[in-house]
Each structure stands twice: as structure tokens, then as C-alpha cells.
Amino acid sequence: MPMILAANANAQGSHVGEWRHPDAWDRPAANLANAVRLAQIAEGGGFDLLFLADGNGVRNMDKPDLFAATSPSDRPGIFEPVTLLAALAMATSRIGLVATTTTTYDEPFHVARRFASLDHISGGRAGWNLVTTSNPGDALNFSHEAHVPRDDRYERAFEFAAVVKGLWDSWADDAFPQDKASGRFLDPARVHALNHHGKHFQVAGPLNAPRPPQGQPVVFSAGQSETGRELSAAMADCVFAIEGTLPRAQALYADLKGRLAKHGRTPDSLKILSGVTIIAGETAEEARRMSDELDALVPDAVALDYLNKMTGLKFKLSMLDQPFPDLDTSEIGPTAIAQAIVARARGEGMTIRQASRAILPQMAGNLFVGSATEVADRMEEWYRGHGCDGFMIAAPVVPTGLERFIRLVVPELRRRGLVRTEYEGTTLRDHLGLPRPANRFFPA
Ligand SMILES: Cc1cc2nc3c(=O)[nH]c(=O)nc-3n(C[C@H](O)[C@H](O)[C@H](O)COP(=O)(O)O)c2cc1C
């Protein structure tokens, strides 16, 4: 199976200073022309899929410097992602289209319906990234007074995913003969009403959409806690993982693949994509110069707000040159991302200023900066070393960072036989080497 290439396709690149860079798009807020162009660039480069992270709230209004400057995971002016992917489906023909939707503040019937529709519209290229919502403030937009506690979110997520998958199998593949001569639009013997009665959901079904072209759209998940990993092993086809070092990525990879057997699954049935920001240059010096240029676009106050946002900590500007403190896990924000940032800052003996600067290009994830050969070497090392099955690639500046990656690094990966040279199938499952599942209610 070749290395999987996914484009993390936010309207802005992955670097906090990105949108101010002279090469970045002008006016990136809710800009459809940009999104179409980015999807076409990624498809032209042979990417397996385009990925949209998402949330349901405006963040950082309590951090005025960062709020005004914004950062890549804030997204105050974007499109609802499934709506956007429906438009991108019409402007592309092969690339997979994956959108994030939360199980905490949505309903399984809505989600099953949206992604079944996207799968039909795109001819079998849809994927759903299941998250339980990272931003506590999103709760306030859905009639909650506070974020649902993590254990409850995950309990709901398991049931939610099971309902969505059941709804996608509502109809047999041949349930809609639409035969003018006989007058039979559909075959009443080929539909299954789910009649789900659970702790969180009561869903009668069936879904009001034919079975998706992929049978089941591809399910991604992003969550790295113990329960998050169990959810991925039980429910997901792909995991979007963030690890800053190869040994940590290898440990996560082995752990996730090792959980599959008890669900009757093979290691191949779950693909692990490692998040990475790639700054590729004609030469290593050029790549490092671009990285420095981007860092210079972020004032200290914005960088510090960003560190506080990512870790849940409350550092002040007067503390910038103090060593990063040794903190108890309970003081650090709950996500794997926050834990990784703190582990790195402590491990490398950083000051608070250095930690705030270190995360500007890539949050807690991985960063590959260098010439095409250097970047391809690192990707090959991670891939062959069982750190991942492929990469969720963010460019520091869009669209030029992605174009550079395609122009400089993709040919080198192809030369090494690590990625395929052209699309071989038509669906996202084809690209990922995932078979089309049989219908659980209408086995062949
Ligand atoms: C790599 C990665 C990407 C994520 N992307 C999103 C996202 O786009 N939107 C969101 O609301 N939450 C996102 N999350 C948050 C998770 O859904 C989850 O709520 C959070 O990580 C806490 O769970 P965990 O402790 O299992 O990691 C992401 C998490 C990870 C690790």
C-alpha cells in the first residue's frame, strides 16, 4: 500500500503568521474561489484526500491580541465544511473529500444524511471526521451551559457512530429500481428501519437517501486519549494523529493497530495519518529563511496568547524569559495536543518565549523543514518505520506551500516508489485501499 497523502486544507495555512505573508491568498475569509483552487491544486498533485477540520464557535474573544490576529485553528470566518465540500465535489473528480463533524452537538440522523448526500454528489469520495469537540465554548451555541464532560462525550460518540453506520445501511444497493415500466420506484423488501433505542438516541430510520456509493463513507477520528483510541479501533477507518517525535508516533501506531484484533479487524483496516507541517524549499537554506520570515510576522503578545490557547495555561508577557515550568498534568489542558506541547517544552529546556515560538508553524505536531531530499527522507523514515501510513500535510502558506510540496517533494516520493503516480480508482476507499463493506442488513 503506497503512502497516503492528505491535504489539511484550511483556508489559512498552518503557521500563525501565514495570512500576513506576501505569498498568502488575499482576503481568505469565506473565499470560495480560493477553496476551489486549493482543491484543484491538491488533486493535480495526486493527493488522496482533502481534509477540513472544524468547530462550531468563535474562539479567543477573551484573548484580544490573538482574537484580532487569528490563528489556524480559530476559523472565525469559514464555510460550514460539508456545504463547502459539496461545491468542491463539482470542481474536482478524483480527490477524496473529508469534513469534520462533532458527535457532541449534532444528531446522528443529520450526520448520516449529510455524508450520504456528499458521497452521492461526489461519486463516492466522502469521508466523515468524527470529533467530540475540542473547544468548550462551542457548547454555548447548542443550549448547553458548559461543555459536555469528556467521558459523556465519548459515550455518546460510540452510540452516535453506531447509529450513523446503521443508517447508511438502510437500503440494499439495489433498492431503487426506478422502473418506469412496472411503476416500482423502490423495492419495499430491500429497506431496513434501524429502530435504534439507546441511552442517548432514539432513531427509527430508515435514512432518506439510497445507500452511499462507497457503501459506508470513510470514517476518520481524531482523539488520542485511551477512550479516543478505543473509539478509533471500534469505529474508524482512519485516524488523524498528532505526535511530535517518531518514537511517540511509533508507540501510538503500534497501540492503535494492536487494538484492532479484539474488534475482529486486521491491522490494514485502520490507516493512521500523522499531522505534519512541511516547509519545502529549493534548498534547505531557502526553507529555513521562509520559516524565519513567517515567525517574524507574529508579535510576542500574539505568540503568547497562542501558547495559552493551545495549553490552557495563563502565562503573562512578563514571564516570557522564565524557564517553562514543571507542571502537574492536572494543570495542563486536557488534550493530547496540550500534553505534547508541555512535554516538548520541558524536554528541550525551553523558556516560555521559546515554547511560544516553537508552536507557531505546526501547533504540537510535527514539522519537516528542508530541501526536497531532506523532507522526503523524513517522510520515508516515518512511513517505513511504522510511525504512520501516510501524512496529513499542512502547508505553512497557502497556496504556495502546497504547490511547492507538489513541485519539489512529490516527484522525489514518486521516484522512491513511496506514492502512486496516478489515481488508480475512483472512490476514496479505492485511494486508501479500503474495501467497500457489505450491507449489514442485506448481505450479498
Ligand atoms: C489531531 C487532532 C485533530 C482534531 N481535530 C478536531 C477538530 O477539527 N474539531 C474539534 O472540535 N476537535 C478536534 N479534535 C479534538 C478531539 O475530537 C477531542 O475532542 C479532543 O482531542 C479530546 O479527546 P482526546 O483526549 O481523546 O484527544 C482533534 C484532536 C486531535 C488529536
Question: Cα(222) to centroid of ligand 1, in Å?
Answer: 5
User: Is the omega angle on the peptide bond into residue 399 within 30 degrees of 0, that is, cis?
Assistant: yes
Task: Looking at the structure, tell me whether residues 253 and 129 fall in a common domain.
Answer: yes
- Helix segments in 143-225, DSSP class H: 150-168
Question: Cα(402) to centroid of ligand 1, in Å?
Answer: 24
- All three cell numbers of 349: 529546556
Residues 6+ apart with CB under 8 A from 18: 12, 24, 72, 294, 396, 397, 398
pLDDT in tens, 108-165: 999 999 999 999 999 999 999 999 998 999 999 999 999 999 999 999 999 999 999 9
- Domain end: 358, 392, 408, which one? 358
DSSP letters spanning 325-383 = P---GGGS-SSHHHHHHHHHHHHTT-BHHHHHHHTTTTTTSEEEEEEHHHHHHHHHHHH
User: How far apart, in whole angstroms, are the C-alpha atoms of residue 363 and residue 341?
Assistant: 8
Task: Looking at the structure, tell me whether residues 137 and 33 fall in a common domain.
Answer: yes
Task: Looking at the structure, tell me whether residues 145 and 220 fall in a common domain.
Answer: yes
Residue 334 lies in a domain: yes
Return the CATH number at 260.
3.20.20.30
- Domain end: 311, 335, 358, which one? 358
Report which ligand 1 atom has the smallest distance to the Cα of 275. 1
Residue 325 lies in a domain: yes
364 pLDDT higher than 60: no
Task: Looking at the structure, tell me whether residues 321 and 410 fall in a common domain.
Answer: no
The answer, yes or no, to whether any atom of ligand 1 lies below 6 A from the CB of 371, is no
Question: Cα(100) to centroid of ligand 1, in Å?
Answer: 10
Amino acid at 60: N
pLDDT in tens, 250-293: 999 999 999 999 999 999 999 999 999 999 999 889 888 988 99
Task: Looking at the structure, tell me whether residues 337 and 370 fall in a common domain.
Answer: no
Report which ligand 1 atom has the smallest distance to the Cα of 229. 26
Residue 444 lies in a domain: no
Residue 440 lies in a domain: no
Residue 144 lies in a domain: yes
Query: CA neighbours within 13 Å on the CB side: how many for 359?
Result: 33
Q: Which structural domain, as residue segments, surrounds residue 344?
A: 299-358
User: How far apart, in whole angstroms, are the C-alpha atoms of residue 85 and residue 83?
Assistant: 6
- Under the banding of pLDDT at 50, 70 and 90, the label for residue 340 is confident
Task: Looking at the structure, tell me whether residues 211 and 257 fall in a common domain.
Answer: yes
Task: Looking at the structure, tell me whether residues 38 and 134 fall in a common domain.
Answer: yes
Residue 441 lies in a domain: no
Identify the top-confidence range among 246-250, 345-349, 381-385.
Answer: 381-385
User: How far apart, in whole angstroms, are the C-alpha atoms of residue 238 and residue 28?
Assistant: 29
- Domain end: 339, 358, 377, which one? 358
Residues 6+ apart with CB under 8 A from 261: none
Which residues are documented as binding site for FMN? 54, 100, 154, 225
Task: Looking at the structure, tell me whether residues 25 and 114 fall in a common domain.
Answer: yes
Q: Which sign does the torsion angle of CA 61, 67, 73, 79 carry? A: positive
Task: Looking at the structure, tell me whether residues 221 and 274 fall in a common domain.
Answer: yes
pLDDT in tens, 379-427: 999 999 999 999 999 998 999 999 999 999 999 999 999 999 999 999 9
Task: Please give the share of the chain, as a percent, with pLDDT higher than 90.
Answer: 87
Domain count, the chain: 2
Task: Looking at the structure, tell me whether residues 226 and 86 fall in a common domain.
Answer: yes
Which residues are documented as binding site? 54, 100, 154, 225
- Nearest CA, atom 23, ligand 1: 223
Report which ligand 1 atom has the smallest distance to the Cα of 221. 17
Task: Looking at the structure, tell me whether residues 216 and 259 fall in a common domain.
Answer: yes
Question: Cα(273) to centroid of ligand 1, in Å?
Answer: 14
Asked whether the beta carbons of 397 and 13 are under 8 A apart, the reply is yes
pLDDT in tens, 168-203: 999 999 999 999 999 999 999 999 999 999 999 999
363 pLDDT higher than 70: no
Residues 6+ apart with CB under 8 A from 410: 5, 45, 46, 419
Residue 437 lies in a domain: no
- Nearest CA, atom 15, ligand 1: 134
Task: Please give the share of the chain, as a percent, with pLDDT higher than 70.
Answer: 99
pLDDT in tens, 48-62: 999 999 999 999 999
Question: Cα(272) to centroid of ligand 1, in Å?
Answer: 15
Amino acid at 84: L
Residue 47 lies in a domain: yes
Rounded to whole angstroms, what are the CA distances from 101 to 3, 95, 107, 136, 361?
Answer: 26, 19, 10, 15, 25
Question: Cα(282) to centroid of ligand 1, in Å?
Answer: 34
Task: Looking at the structure, tell me whether residues 137 and 275 fall in a common domain.
Answer: yes
Query: Which residue from 8, 311, 335, 393 has its CB within 8 A of the most atoms of ligand 1, so it is best to mutate?
Result: 335
The dihedral region occupied by 354, where left means phi > 0, alpha psi between -120 and 50, and beta the remainder, is alpha
pLDDT value at position 284?
85
Query: Cell match 496516478: residue?
Result: 422
343 pLDDT higher than 90: no
User: How far apart, in whole angstroms, are the C-alpha atoms of residue 82 and residue 182?
Assistant: 36
The answer, yes or no, to whether any atom of ligand 1 lies below 6 A from the CB of 394, is no
Q: What SS3 string covers 36-52?
A: HHHHHHHHHCCCCEEEE
Report which ligand 1 atom has the smallest distance to the Cα of 226. 26
- Under the banding of pLDDT at 50, 70 and 90, the label for residue 365 is confident
